[in-house]
Amino acid sequence: MSGLVAARTLADAGREVVVLEASDHLGGRVLSIPCGATVIDAGASHVWSFYRSTRRWLGRLGLSADLVPVAATQRLPIRLGDLPAILRAMGEVGLNWWRLDPARPLRAAPLDNRSIAEYAARRVPPRLVEAALRPAFEWNAFCELEEMSQVLVLQAGRLVLGARPHTLRGGLHRLPLALAQGLDVRRGPAHQVLSLELAGDRVRVRLKSGGELEAGAAVLATLPSQAAAILHATGSLEQFLLGVRHSAVARGWWQFPARDADQGLRLVSSPRGRAALASSRVVGDRRVVSLAIYGPAAAAGEGEDRESWLLARTLDMFPDLLGRPVLEGGAHLWSRAVTTFETGHFRRLAQVVHALPSGRVRLAGDYLVSPTIEGAALSGERAAAELLRSSILEP
């Protein structure tokens, strides 16, 4: 996502752009897969109402009308006795409002001193941790509360009032495809970038095919560990890039013959650490069920037939489907899915920001802003805007 946003921004400003993508699939962790008469988002799926950059792009590309709000499935079990704790937590968010802008992660560095689990243990009634925080972070963001920085929950506190998730009709993959429209995109393993080197006032790009390209500038929008290898990064930059972690997510989806009683969207969860999130909806005469399993449980499927393993877990959660024929289905494993933003990530980013490439080579990627398509889009826009401002790239 971040690379395509950078490319589109540069192309719209009249610069000649080549997009090099190492896989056959365009869009990275945004991936929609057809399943019968519907489309499953096997990667990112939700666009929140507070995603400014993403929504601006959707608007520019003529896709806004296809954003569909996701119905709330759960009410929080808030009791009167919880109010003092909630007010204290809101007060903390209010006091730090300026620091909690997810688009400006460096401002949050001073607050990045403990995990969400440690934060919750001090601030949030345990019942609300189970009812609100765990589902939001572990089941939707696929990350462990023990690992992630408290900054993420404080940022969410600033954003969440009145916020609504949406999905894109036809699959979120329509967004990267629309971004790429009209660009010179070269994809597939032969176009994997092996290294970027400065050669006078040009950037030399070496490809896996053995070929080379030269450009006035480059935006490197891979995962951070890949960026470290491509740049031959050393010192604090290498340490930072190699230190960014990702959760694993295994996703499976199936279609069964529908019955009248199956109407509506349903979210269920199996015990913590086993399954993240399952949903069931009726499309035409079929019931579409999808399941996402994260973290250690995603790895637990390793070595077995992952698809059968995921199907068995799905049937554990929807026993009414037992015995029904599977009409269609599939599975996908993301070994590096959601960028974890572990405790200390914001501080490490603030320390290393002066060592990030800032000349003809720029970095982009969600790990520089926030672990979402919005973070990716913002990072891509920024990398492109900095290049345009620096006048390295004359039209």
Ligand X SMILES: Cc1cc2nc3c(=O)[nH]c(=O)nc-3n(C[C@H](O)[C@H](O)[C@H](O)COP(=O)(O)OP(=O)(O)OC[C@H]3O[C@@H](n4cnc5c(N)ncnc54)[C@H](O)[C@@H]3O)c2cc1C
CB-based contacts of 163: which residues, under 8 Å, 6+ apart?
48, 49, 50
The residue from 366, 381, 383, 384 that contacts ligand X (CB under 6 A) is 366
The residue from 10, 175, 338, 378 that contacts ligand X (CB under 6 A) is 338
Within 251-280, the residues that bind ligand X by CB under 6 A are: 251
> 123 or 186, CB closer to ligand X?
186
User: Residue 277: what are its φ and ψ, rounded to 5°?
Assistant: -155, 135
> 86 or 136, CB closer to ligand X?
136
> 93 or 383, CB closer to ligand X?
383
Give the three-class secondary structure for 77: coil
Give the three-class secondary structure for 113: coil
Per CB under 6 A, does 32 bind ligand X? no
313 close to 275: Cβ distance less than 8 angstroms: yes
The residue from 222, 280, 314, 340 that contacts ligand X (CB under 6 A) is 222
In angstroms, give the least distance from the CB of 101 to ligand X.
17
Specify the residue for token string 């077995």. 304
Per CB under 6 A, does 17 bind ligand X? no
Q: Kindly indicate which of the ranges 23-31, 209-217, 354-362, 385-393 contains the residues binding ligand X, using the contact rule CB under 6 A.
A: 23-31
Q: Kindly indicate which of the ranges 62-70, 76-84, 218-226, 314-322 contains the residues binding ligand X, using the contact rule CB under 6 A.
A: 218-226
CB-based contacts of 336: which residues, under 8 Å, 6+ apart?
223, 246, 248
Beta strands in 295-346, from DSSP E residues, in sequence order: 328-334
Give whole-number Cα distances, 161 to 55, 133, 157, 275, in Å. Answer: 18, 15, 7, 27
144 close to 115: Cβ distance less than 8 angstroms: no
Give whole-number Cα distances, 7 to 63, 88, 110, 159, 184, in Å. Answer: 19, 44, 33, 28, 10
Q: Kindly indicate which of the ranges 24-32, 58-66, 94-102, 118-126 contains the residues binding ligand X, using the contact rule CB under 6 A.
A: 24-32
> 124 or 193, CB closer to ligand X?
193
Within 298-327, the residues that bind ligand X by CB under 6 A are: none
Q: Kindly indicate which of the ranges 15-23, 118-126, 150-158, 301-309 contains the residues binding ligand X, using the contact rule CB under 6 A.
A: 15-23
Buried-state track 136-160, b at ≥16 Cβ within 10 A, e below 16: bbbbbbbbbbebbbbbbbbbbbbbe
Q: Kindly indicate which of the ranges 82-90, 128-136, 352-360, 367-375 contains the residues binding ligand X, using the contact rule CB under 6 A.
A: 367-375
Per CB under 6 A, does 249 bind ligand X? yes
Strand partners, 47: 166
Per CB under 6 A, does 9 bind ligand X? no
Residues at the site binding ligand X, with contacts judged by CB under 6 A: 1-3, 20-23, 28-30, 43-46, 192-193, 221-223, 226, 230, 249, 251, 334, 337-338, 365-366, 371-376
